[in-house]
Structure 1
Amino acid sequence: MTALENDPLEINFRTRKWVRPEDLNANGTLFGGSLLKWIDEEATIYAIVQLGNRRVVTKFMSEINFLSSAVQGDVIEMGLQATAFGSSSMTMRAAVRNMITRKPILTVDRIVFVGLDASGVPFPHGFTDITYDRDRIPQEPLA
């Protein structure tokens, strides 16, 4: 079983990345900063869809537990699970595994995103459940 398959929480969103030379650190393994950037980017997209708001920001990221790594050419899989909805926020957790070695790479227990209005003020979203309906994303201009 993999880190994502034996996780007690159902993973709602998964994506994969290919580890390329520009993603490596001085040790020749996956640079943690690259991985955290990928997680934040994918979590942002997930929050946009779930909160129905294109103006979301990362508010908090809990302790990050690196368990193993990846090398050039490996494929990693990131999984996200929504765990709670606040009035203007959404909390999720993340798990990443190496699809080649089948080892878990890292876990993040809590990532909190807040939806903002056009003035940058937290905006109540009114949602309490995960959706798979892509129509939650508003169609207003980005101005």
Structure 2
Amino acid sequence: MRFHTRKWVKPEDLNANGTLFGGTLLAWIDEEAALYSIIQLENSKVVTKYMSEINFMSSANQGDIVEIGIEVVKFGRTSLVLKSEVRNKMTRETIITIDNIIMVNLGSDGKPAPHGKTKIEYVKDRLEQQNENGSGN
């Protein structure tokens, strides 16, 4: 799993127990899944359809740095299925896991649309390919 984003747990991110509020963490994961999907599918119109069981394994405290990992489970016709793990950057202790996050690719009409992708692509590879094909700068 690749960990793309780090977040610093600040006072406004805490719940009444003084630990990271689960809703804040889920919002961070949802945003990371959306950004990852937008980049993979090359379409800014991507929405979250489903999140499977959420397994909170430990908590995070103010001042902790957490990192959000995303991994592709599979490519569907109009969707991308991801899984996520969030862990404490310093201790590597897992905070939360989500086994299935389904992101749906939308067309200009706002309805699910085929994306034509079948494997993970990296932006640097796309740029190299553009340069090789003469369509880059």
TM-score (normalised: structure 1): 0.84
Alpha-carbon deviation of 1:103? 1.3
Q: Does 1:91 align with 2:81?
A: yes
Larger radius of gyration: 2
Deviation (angstroms), 1:17: 0.3
- Which blocks of at least 5 consecutive residues in structure 1 are unaligned? 1-10, 137-143
Cα pair 2:3 2:67 within 8 Å, conserved: no
CA separation of 1:13 and 1:88: change in aligned 2, threshold 3 A: farther
Root-mean-square deviation over aligned CA pairs: 1.4
Q: In terms of mean alpha carbon deviation, does 104-113 or 11-20 score higher?
A: 11-20
1:57 aligns with 2:18: no
For 2:22 and 2:67, the matched residues in 1 are separated by 15
Provide the residue aligned with 2:132 in structure 1: none
SS of match in other structure, 1:33: helix
**CA separation in 2, counterparts of 1:133 and 1:103?**
30
1:74-126 C-alpha deviation (Å, 9 max, x unpaired):
00011000110011100000001112333110100000000111111111010
Aligned-partner Cα distance in 2 for 1:13–1:127: 22
Give the CA deviation at 1:72: 0.5
Q: CA offsets, 1:17-75, max 9 Å, x none?
A: 00000000000000000000000001100000111110000000000000001111000
The match for 2:9 among 11, 19, 39 is 19
Determine what percentage of the aligned residue pairs are the same residue. Answer: 57
Find the residue that maps to 1:69 and give its secondary structure.
coil
Matched residues, number: 126
Given candidates 86, 111, 117, the residue that maps to 1:127 is 117
Q: 1:76 to 1:13 in 2, by over 3 A?
A: closer
Q: Which residue of 2 aligns with 1:108?
A: 98
What is the DSSP-based 3-state SS (H/G/I as helix, E as strand, rest coil) of the residue aligned with 2:47? strand
TM-score, scaled to structure 2: 0.87
- 1:45 corresponds to which residue? 35
Work out whether 1:72 is the aligned partner of 2:62: yes
1:133–1:102 Cα change, 3 Å: closer
